[in-house]
Chains A and B, each alone.
Chain A
């Protein structure tokens, strides 16, 4: 069993449920959590983190809506296999989210070549499990 942790920081601006969702999302994208992996029950994870049940439940719901998890009621959630589609079939919602991020990076001063390099580095780090 992988010894994978989720860490939360109460002093960050980012809400705790988003911190949990982000980390789980990144671990799934990096291949640390494979399809079929069962995440702990909401109560168990909330107990270990010392947070409210609703916080973890909300994180799981966000990930289910995004297609990362399938929730199994009280027994936890399961990682879902990624959808299979080609480059032209990417849902419009995801394209829009990508354009927003890229626009913000451009506005922050990154030139197109630097932007391309950054995107490739992030993909490489995800593939490397980092």
Chain B
């Protein structure tokens, strides 16, 4: 299967998968929350709630059908009937579908949220509850993942700089069927930008896993400890998941970085048999690791949400009639789906709708952490463009 064909497959499969995740989201939410609005456990069932959920599911299904339809409409002209082959050109097809998907899911969610807001509990929660000795996830695994990412990135950077002068300005990264190069890599990108990406991107994910282990607990008032146990298990699963993701991404990026430099050291045109072997191994290795990472990411999200529910919702079912305490239950502190509470020193709080945790934007440290991640991505993108321009 060529890279182009893989893109087509992704193009067709992503909207239904994303649609399924959005359809499942209300089922895994903690009782008392409705599309990110706290309506209290008593009002969480009832005809009005069911009507809102039905409307939401219908909206998501329609949106996914539209995206798939647009995708097919943009894709079909690329099929050459005479030669029974795909014309090699993605065009604007997949970015259009991706944008449509992102905007569409948010519109459906915001519509459901506006309807749910009519049922919002107007009273802020009176009670706050904290456990004096909860079990926190161990920090060894996320710390290890972060350190491995940094070490791998430094190793790749050192390797690239060591061989920098011996590398050509650019070298072939892809060969067409006739054996001629059909794609190129530039020296600054491979020797510098890619190793930095290896260090910073999975390093940030590892740091995120480390901070998650200390995220705010959102327990219920006067339950028998069910919500605490559920929270502990959910956080442990999340910390392990993101640590594993960091390690996988590190392995993928580091191996591509080193192998690409090895290919480059054999010359710019990639004609020799050794280079072909190396390049094939690199592509295969990249495909395997890349596929494994995607499967791990999608599979992990689905597994954790199916087994635990968001925030351990499925594990606290017996005590889910007890009210949620502060944080999640205080509608005043949530603006357009974001938690903003300057008095709360928490860095991360549970998502009220969706999966995982989100930052407390009222805490400058959380905002800095996320801004730092954004700066890293923008800087890497800028350096990549610089590498192409040099």
Interface residues of A (CB under 8 A from B): 1-11, 33, 37, 39-40, 43-53
Contact of A3 among B127, B217, B225, B346 (CB under 8 A): B225
Q: Is the CB of A51 within 8 A of B343?
A: yes
- Please give the distance in Å from A76's CB to the nearest CB on chain B: 10
Q: Select one of B133, B221, B326 contacting A50, CB under 8 A.
A: B326
Residues on A with C-beta less than 8 A from B132 are 2, 4-6, 33, 39-40, 45
Q: Are A9's CB and B127's CB within 8 A?
A: yes
* Bound Cα distance from A37 to B132, whole angstroms: 10
List 12 A–B pairs whose Cβ atoms lie within 8 Å, in order of A's numbering.
A1-B133, A2-B132, A2-B133, A7-B128, A39-B132, A40-B130, A40-B133, A45-B130, A49-B130, A49-B326, A50-B216, A51-B344
B69 interface residue (CB < 8 Å to A): no
B135 touches A1 (CB 8 A): yes
Closest A-B pairs by Cβ, 10 of them: A48-B130, A50-B326, A47-B346, A1-B133, A49-B128, A4-B132, A8-B128, A49-B130, A3-B225, A50-B344
Is the beta-carbon distance between A7 and B135 smaller than 8 angstroms?
no
Q: How far is the CA of A44 from the CA of B130 in the complex (A)?
A: 9
Q: What's the nearest-Cβ distance from chain A to residue B235, in Å?
A: 12
Minimum Cβ distance to chain A for residue B364 (Å):
13
Asked if B196 CB lies within 8 Å of chain A CBs, one says no
Residues on B with beta carbons closer than 8 Å to the beta carbon of A39? 132
**Nearest residue, chain B, Cβ from A7:** B129
Distance of B134 from chain A, by nearest CB (Å): 8
Contact with A along B70-104 (1 / 0, CB 8 A): 00000000000000000000000000000000000
Distance to closest chain A CB from B346 (angstroms): 4
| Shortest Cβ distance from B327 into A: residue | A50
Q: Which residue of B lies closest to A11 (CB)?
A: B126
